[in-house]
Amino acid sequence: MASKAAYKRLSKEYIAMQREPPPFVWAAPDEKNILHWNYIIRGPPDSPFAGGEYHGVLLFPPEYPFKPPGIKMLTPSGRFQPDKKICFSMSDFHPGSWNPAWSVATILTGLLSFMLSDEMTTGSVTTTDAEKRVYAARSHSWNIQQKRFKEAFPEYCTPAMRDVPNMAQKERGTSPAPAPSAPASSAASTPATNPTPAAAPVVAPGPSPAKPAAAGAPADKAVARTTPGAAADAAQSWTASVRQMIWEKWRWGVVLALALVVSRMSSSN
């Protein structure tokens, strides 16, 4: 059962996710357990995961945000073992490096960045770029056959793969798509054992599904029409924005920690 602090924090983060989702990421809590979140990561263009759709889960402890979540990716990706916990700096493998200022958006942005790297860790696998592209091409058809994906994201269970609300449109100079509307049995509803969270804003339905991408192809038409140089610039710009986001979160966490230490020293004197 979630503590009041965890429930309040995760409720706010769900609203924040709807208002300003990170690039290539979408996530929502389970309707029966706010500590259990499902996420979708879309493969960025100019990466071996381009055109891929990766479903996974974040398993938050009742003590969140003071303890980190467990993280799994369920969709075969060629990067992580399906349904196995992933070890990286923001997961429950490293509670000592966890920063309570980090959020769902920060965690998933960090996971995507780690996914694009070649670093090996617990829960990862080694494959070639060609194999990753094959997994990306098969990912959506695999997802829509899975019960957990159907229950978590019914609005994404379409024959053609849908974009998540933020496909890094700002970096590419295009307009962002609206976030998908939550189903009637959305995770934003109140579990019986917890107080009512802040109401999530009403969001308009997402755009019509795009045509499915071929293996190794970019995820949408806008990317497909760009020149290789422009696409590379967009990918570099997006990577820089991700690094800046992680740096800002870390910097503020350090400031808060120092303030706490100074406060305790003053009290002891």
Beta pairing partners, 40: 26, 55
Strands 70-73 and 36-42: unpaired
| Set 15, 59, 87, 125: catalytic member | 87
What is the gyration radius of the CA atoms in the chain, in angstroms?
19
Question: What residues contact residue 196 under an 8 Å CB cut-off, 6+ apart?
Answer: 190
- Cβ-count burial of 251 within 10 angstroms (0-12 exposed, 13-18 middle, 19+ buried)? exposed
Phi, psi of 137 (to 5 degrees): -65, -30
Nearest to 64 by CA among 30, 35, 87, 89: 35
Answer whether 237's CB lies under 8 Å from 44's CB.
no
Q: Is 87 a catalytic residue?
A: yes
Alpha-helical segments (H) within 117-227: 129-143, 147-152, 169-172, 221-224
- Cβ-count burial of 144 within 10 angstroms (0-12 exposed, 13-18 middle, 19+ buried)? middle
What is the Cα–Cα distance from 204 to 182, expressed in whole angstroms? 9
Beta pairing partners, 54: 41
Active-site positions read 87
